[in-house]
Amino acid sequence: MEKKASSFSGQIGFVLAAAGSAVGVGNLWRFPYLAAKDGGGLFLLVYLMLVLTFGFTLLTSDIAIGRRTKQSAIRAYETMRPKWKFLGILTFLVPVLIMTYYAVIGGWITKYAAVYLTGQSAAAAEDGYFTSFITSPVSPVVFALLFMGVTAFIVYNGVEGGIERVSRYMMPILLVLVVVIAGYALTLRHEDASGQMRTGLEGLRYYLTPHMEGLTVSRFLQILLDAMSQLFFSLSVSMGIMITYGSYMKKETSIEKSVSQIEIFDTGVALLAGLMIVPAVFVFSGGDQSAMQSGPGLMFQTLPKVFDSMGGGQFGQIVGALFFLLVLFAALTSAISLMETVVSIVIDKFHVKRAVACIIVFIGMMLLALPSSLGNGVWSHIQILGMDFLTFFDFISNSVIMPIVALLTCIFIGYVVKTQLVVDEVKSSSKFSREKLFVVVIKYIAPIFIVAILVSSVLSGLGIITI
Ligand code: PFF
């Protein structure tokens, strides 16, 4: 990101901006499908524990590094230790990879916003609608192009004015809507073909109960890896974004308080999004495991049914349109911060004009997004390690590169520049009540834990060990 002359106005300004980047598709789309897939309450428990330890530690480090060096990620590590320049470069890879499939999901959301705005809510609720859309060769690519085009246009014109002002209203409205839909989802009742009645409250129980039955070591490891990668993705840590945001933070703003507020906000939205989706899938599928495990399509397959059941067609149509428009907005703000990061680095490195950089990045991203989009349909026969392209890009960025960046950050802070550097930065504006926890997690717990999860999951993924 280009250096802004101004910095965030204070605590609220900083927290809102950081939450704007953090709250996005990760909370609304990714978190609920992982919670449904990974045994409901068990995933929630593991995730919450990670937020309070890893999330807190990594977010604090990223923001403190940014504020201390006043540099974006690619330069921050180099400024502190020239030999660690590679970590900045590795960090830069993450937004590039994420962008390639964020564009595809953004396209899906754009499509659904268009579907609801043009009055096709009943069609969207039909079984097979989503699948036939994502497997078609043209439509998803066109919508991804549209989504990326708008993102590139905004990044070219500058983010400051409109978007930031609008997001102050959109985010709270989105939150209220999520609460309302979640409340409604709990009142759902549905009778399946065999006459069995399922209710939203039973769905809630499924969402909150830790399901231990049939739990094996390898499955537990899988859940840990899922929760850890979700944590990095959702909080926008270990990808340089929070370092850049930290570099705009004023000296007087409390890092510790900001970190707590961002965590509460981000996790709160994720939990609510799960509440809106998981009980509803349960009601409509009768707890059928293959439906609960359906992954990336969950939001697009379940919510249309919820809207459809809202009675009187019209009403569900309006709620659906409003919902997908707001999600589109949340996705756009996150996509903008991803693309802005990449564009500013291209400008810095190649000394090109902003317009040229935007065009280069747009074309490059679209080319990279193509496999993720077509991988659901015409290229579905191509599998990498048993995954389609979108799942593979998601896996490589969130479950491999981000944990590696996080691990290297822990080593860098814990053993190279030493934890005192971050502690001093935090204490320069407030007290640091979780200092001991921070030091223990960053020096010992996080590195050991990350290595253990990474190694075992990679080895078992490659079939080298069976756990
Ligand atoms: N944290 C965002 C989400 O949960 O959707 C994803 C994201 C946005 C990651 C922006 C990185 C970023 F720069």
21 ligand 1 Cβ < 6 A: yes
At which residue do the structure tokens 């707590």 appear? 260
Q: Which atom of ligand 1 is nearest to the CA of 25?
A: 5
Tell me how crowded residue 363 is: count the other CB atoms within 10 A of its CB.
12
Ligand 1 center from residue 97 Cα (angstroms): 12
What's the pLDDT score for residue 460?
65
Q: Which atom of ligand 1 is nearest to the CA of 331?
A: 5
Q: Is 26 exposed, middle or buried (0-12, 13-18, 19+ CB in 10 A)?
A: buried
Ligand 1 center from residue 236 Cα (angstroms): 5
Q: Which atom of ligand 1 is nearest to the CA of 241?
A: 13
pLDDT band at 186 (very low <50, low <70, confident <90, very high): very high
- Closest by alpha carbon to 410, among 449, 436, 452? 449
95 ligand 1 Cβ < 6 A: yes
Whether the predicted pLDDT of 10 surpasses 80: no
Q: Which atom of ligand 1 is nearest to the CA of 94?
A: 11
Q: Which amino acid, one-letter code, is at 451?
A: V
For 131-143, the pLDDT digits (tens) are: 999 999 899 999 9
241 ligand 1 Cβ < 6 A: yes
For 203-224, the pLDDT digits (tens) are: 999 999 998 888 888 788 889 9
- d(Cα 73, Cα 66) in Å, to the nearest integer? 7
User: If you average pLDDT over every residue of the chain, what do you get?
Assistant: 87
What's the pLDDT score for residue 213?
82
pLDDT band at 372 (very low <50, low <70, confident <90, very high): confident
- d(Cα 324, Cα 464) in Å, to the nearest integer? 43
Residues forming a β-bridge with 40: 210
At residue 364, φ and ψ (nearest 5 deg) are: -60, -45
pLDDT band at 411 (very low <50, low <70, confident <90, very high): very high
Whether the predicted pLDDT of 185 surpasses 50: yes
Atom 9 of ligand 1 has which residue's CA nearest to it? 236
Whether the predicted pLDDT of 419 surpasses 90: yes
24 ligand 1 Cβ < 6 A: yes
Ligand 1 center from residue 336 Cα (angstroms): 10
22 ligand 1 Cβ < 6 A: yes
Atom 10 of ligand 1 has which residue's CA nearest to it? 334
CB 140 within 8 A of CB 296: no
236 ligand 1 Cβ < 6 A: yes
Q: What is the mean pLDDT of residues 338-359?
A: 87
Ligand 1 center from residue 230 Cα (angstroms): 10
377 ligand 1 Cβ < 6 A: no
- d(Cα 82, Cα 416) in Å, to the nearest integer? 12
What's the pLDDT score for residue 193?
78
3-state secondary structure the chain: CCCCCCCCCCHHHHHHHHHHHHCCHHHHHHHHHHHHHCCEHHHHHHHHHHHHHHHHHHHHHHHHHHHHHCCCHHHHHHHHCHHHHHHHHHHHHHHHHHHHHHHHHHHHHHHHHHHHHCCCHHHHCCCCHHHHHHHCCCHHHHHHHHHHHHHHHHHHHCCCHHHHHHHHHHHHHHHHHHHHHHHHHHCCEEECCCCCEEEHHHHHHHHHCECCCCCCHHHHHHHHHHHHHHHHHHHCCCCCHHHHHHHCCCCCCCHHHHHHHHHHHHHHHHHHHHHHHHHHHHHHHCCCHHHHCCHHHHHHHHHHHHHHCCCCCHHHHHHHHHHHHHHHHHHHHHHHHHHHHHHHHHHHHHCCCHHHHHHHHHHHHHHHHHHHHHCCCCCCCCCECCECHHHHHHHHHHHHHHHHHHHHHHHHHHHHCCHHHHHHHHHCCCCCCCHHHHHHHHHHHHHHHHHHHHHHHHHHHCCCCCC
Handedness of CA 243, 245, 251, 257 (dihedral sign): negative
For 309-342, the pLDDT digits (tens) are: 887 568 888 889 988 998 898 898 888 888 888 8
94 ligand 1 Cβ < 6 A: no
Atom 13 of ligand 1 has which residue's CA nearest to it? 338
Whether the predicted pLDDT of 264 surpasses 90: yes
Ligand 1 center from residue 171 Cα (angstroms): 15
- d(Cα 276, Cα 305) in Å, to the nearest integer? 12
- Cβ neighbours for 120, distance < 8 A, ≥ 6 positions apart: none
How is residue 27 written in tokens? Answer: 């909370």
For 82-109, the pLDDT digits (tens) are: 999 999 989 888 888 888 889 999 999 9
- d(Cα 153, Cα 156) in Å, to the nearest integer? 5
What's the pLDDT score for residue 58?
95
pTM for the full predicted model: 0.89
- d(Cα 112, Cα 235) in Å, to the nearest integer? 25
For 143-176, the pLDDT digits (tens) are: 999 999 999 988 888 655 556 666 677 778 888 8
Whether the predicted pLDDT of 30 surpasses 90: yes
- d(Cα 414, Cα 202) in Å, to the nearest integer? 45
40 ligand 1 Cβ < 6 A: no
- Cβ neighbours for 193, distance < 8 A, ≥ 6 positions apart: none
